[in-house]
């Protein structure tokens, strides 16, 4: 399944290209009150897709590799770290409780065992909800950053393609068969060229060495939501097993 970020990036990129094309081909409107008025010059670039070359670009890589992307995703990572540590702590606590319950299940009476099982189930559900909320929030904020950059990057891609004789640019963020590109060589890839052009236009300085951003974790390490085996509740000797 294509990631939410990849799907959103494709939609934003497509809409941006459509808008640029419309701006280049739609004549300025006139009003009845001033039919002969000279239209104001348009600031939108005129796109002339006369090239025939086919190129590729990894949109996600271009966004994350840009100076602005590295800066903003690193800031997001720092912002999410406290919550990530909190989830990791809760997961460790739950894991310790499960191990302790497993070690003592033969020593507990039925009431104590049932109480412990319910405690583990409650903590497990609470952690699962917290993880889901974290994942959704993290993905949403990553998408906002990516879309903001992509909106500004799309015109640069279009201009670069037109200036260098490209008639088609394909996104390789997803691998085939999720992507229409079965195979491509580095000679037709324009990702790095677009990153460099975007860095110049954005004016954002390169991050210091060793400070490259990584994508914020969508799921805290070691906090799988699948609950470990909890101690079985043994029926009392006088209670027949339920059918």
Residue 5 pLDDT greater than 90, yes or no: no
How much is the pLDDT for 187? 92
Helices (H), 52-208: 59-65, 67-104, 110-163, 191-202
* pLDDT for 215: 56
Q: What is the pLDDT of residue 48?
A: 65
Per-residue pLDDT, 161: 95
Q: Name the average pLDDT for the chain.
A: 77
Instruction: Name which residue leads in pLDDT, 46 or 179.
Output: 179
Tens digits of residue pLDDT in 205-233: 999 877 655 555 545 444 444 433 333 33
Dump pLDDT digits (tens) for 15-56: 455 444 444 444 444 444 444 444 444 444 556 667 889 999
Q: b/e per residue, 113-147, with b = 16+ CB within 10 A?
A: beebbeebeebbeebeebbeebeeebbebbbebbb
Spatial CA neighbour of 76 closest among 22, 134, 118: 134
Instruction: Provide CB contacts within 8 A for 42, sequence distance 6+.
Output: 23, 28
Nearest CA to 234 out of 125, 108, 119 is that of 108
Q: What's the pLDDT score for residue 108? A: 82
Name every residue whose Cβ is closer than 8 Å to that of residue 114 and which is 6 or more positions away in sequence: 233
Whether 91 has a pLDDT exceeding 50, the answer reads yes
Tell whether the model's pLDDT for residue 236 goes beyond 50: no
Res 37: pLDDT? 40
Contact present, 160 and 197 (Cβ < 8 Å): yes
Contact between 149 and 66 (Cβ < 8 Å): yes
Selected residue with higher pLDDT from 115 and 49: 115
């Amino acid at each position: 399944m294509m990631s939410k970020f990849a799907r959103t990036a494709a939609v934003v990129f497509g809409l941006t290209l459509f808008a640029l094309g419309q701006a280049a081909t739609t004549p300025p409107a006139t009003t009845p009150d001033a039919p002969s008025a000279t239209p104001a010059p348009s600031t939108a670039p005129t796109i002339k897709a006369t090239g025939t070359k086919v190129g590729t670009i990894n949109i996600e890589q271009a966004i994350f590799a840009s100076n602005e992307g590295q800066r903003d995703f690193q800031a997001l990572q720092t912002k999410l770290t406290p919550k990530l540590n909190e989830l990791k702590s809760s997961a460790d606590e739950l894991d310790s409780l499960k191990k302790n319950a497993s070690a003592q299940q033969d020593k507990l009476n039925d009431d104590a065992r049932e109480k412990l099982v319910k405690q583990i189930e409650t903590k497990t559900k609470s952690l699962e909800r917290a993880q889901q909320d974290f994942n959704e929030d993290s993905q949403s904020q990553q998408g906002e950053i990516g879309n903001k950059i992509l909106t500004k990057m799309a015109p640069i891609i279009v201009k670069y393609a037109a200036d260098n004789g490209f008639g088609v640019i394909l996104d390789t963020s997803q691998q085939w068969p999720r992507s229409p590109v079965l195979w491509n060589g580095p000679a037709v890839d324009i990702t790095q060229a677009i990153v460099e052009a975007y860095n110049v236009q954005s004016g954002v300085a390169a991050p210091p060495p060793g400070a490259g951003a990584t994508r914020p974790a969508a799921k805290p390490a070691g906090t799988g939501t699948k609950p470990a085996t909890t101690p079985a509740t043994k029926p009392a000797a006088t209670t027949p097993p339920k059918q």
